[in-house]
Amino acid sequence: MNLCDIETIRAVLGRHGFHFSKSLGQNFLTDASVPRRIAEQSGAAETGCVVEVGPGMGCLTDELCRRAARVVAVELDRALLPVLAETLSEHDNYEIVQGDVLALDLAALCREKFGEERAVACANLPYYITTPAITALLESRAFTRITVMVQREVAQRICAQPGTAAYSAFTIYVQYHAAAKILFDVPADCFVPRPKVDSAVLQLTPLEQPAVQTKDEKLFFALVRAAFNMRRKTLVNALGPVLGSEMDKETIAGLVCSVGLDARVRGERLSLMDFARLADAAADRLKGV
């Protein structure tokens, strides 16, 4: 059964009386090369253990089952469960867990299903949950590799460099925790219903240690958020809401200059290392060091 063939999709969904849900961001692939390429590059064959988020009709699940020893797919929409029972009937190495990935303890799920074996994660993420889903996958610390299809603009933002328009607080969050790269683009006409934007397949390789070391991780991310909350302002002005209760503007400017930055710089130009140095200097100043 070609699960990316439009007539097959219509026939299967029709048999089960399934209707696409806009609220769940459901778009099914009609290009069979996409799930095949995702599965090939996901690491499923090497690790043997896969968690898939949002299997939909099962086109990616099918490819993962052909490569991995065991696939656990998390699906929120109960209406898709009988559809998956049909489309994946030739496989016996998968399990569907009905639930919300944002509410699951992913580390516990992996321990329950795979024991001590390490797993990889795959997903065709609905656009509306992309950021929280990637955050949940990274913070679980349960995966050696995370391969997700997301809106292309999001993938570009995650892989952005300092000083570019796409660079953001989420860029820094992801790159702090993982090495990120875009594997390939997926045009909008590869889906039904056709979304309004193109997608891209993004791969994250979680790091054993954060990309930069900092004395106070909470302060590090507070400074990052402050810098991008007011990204058109200078860094000195943007840091006021975080540091202003303890330091005046002149002191904050001195702090910025003390780590080799221009007092007129905007936060969007700082690298992870720049933010780490700034956070450490701020932590020392707040402790009176």
Instruction: Report helix, strand or coil for 45.
Output: helix
d(CA 202, CA 148): 5
Residues 178 and 260 in one domain: no
95 part of a folded domain: yes
Helices (H) then strands (E): counts for the chain = 14, 9
pLDDT at 232: 87
d(CA 203, CA 121): 10
Q: Which helix (H) or strand (E) holds 71?
A: strand 70-75
The residues pairing with 204 across neighbouring beta strands, listed in sequence order, are 146, 180
pLDDT at 20: 66
CATH number at 280 reads 1.10.8.100
* Residue ranges, the chain, pLDDT below 70: 20-26, 289
- Asked whether 1 and 87 are in contact (CB, 8 A), the reply is yes
pLDDT at 257: 96
pLDDT at 46: 95
| Residue that finishes a domain, picked among 206, 227, 242 | 206
Which sign does the torsion angle of CA 51, 57, 60, 65 carry? positive
pLDDT at 115: 96
pLDDT at 151: 94
pLDDT at 137: 98
- Asked whether 151 and 165 are in contact (CB, 8 A), the reply is no
212 part of a folded domain: no
pLDDT at 149: 96
Per-residue pLDDT tens digits for 244-284: 788 999 999 999 999 999 999 999 999 999 999 999 999 99
**% residues pLDDT > 90 (the chain):** 83
pLDDT at 25: 57
Instruction: Report helix, strand or coil for 98.
Output: strand
pLDDT at 24: 56
Per-residue pLDDT tens digits for 11-42: 998 899 887 665 555 678 999 999 999 999 99
- Domain span holding position 83: 6-206
Counting Cβ atoms within 10 Å, is residue 196 exposed (0-12), middle (13-18) or buried (19+)? Answer: exposed
Residues 247 and 200 in one domain: no
Residues 77 and 138 in one domain: yes
CATH number at 126 reads 3.40.50.150
- Asked whether 56 and 80 are in contact (CB, 8 A), the reply is yes
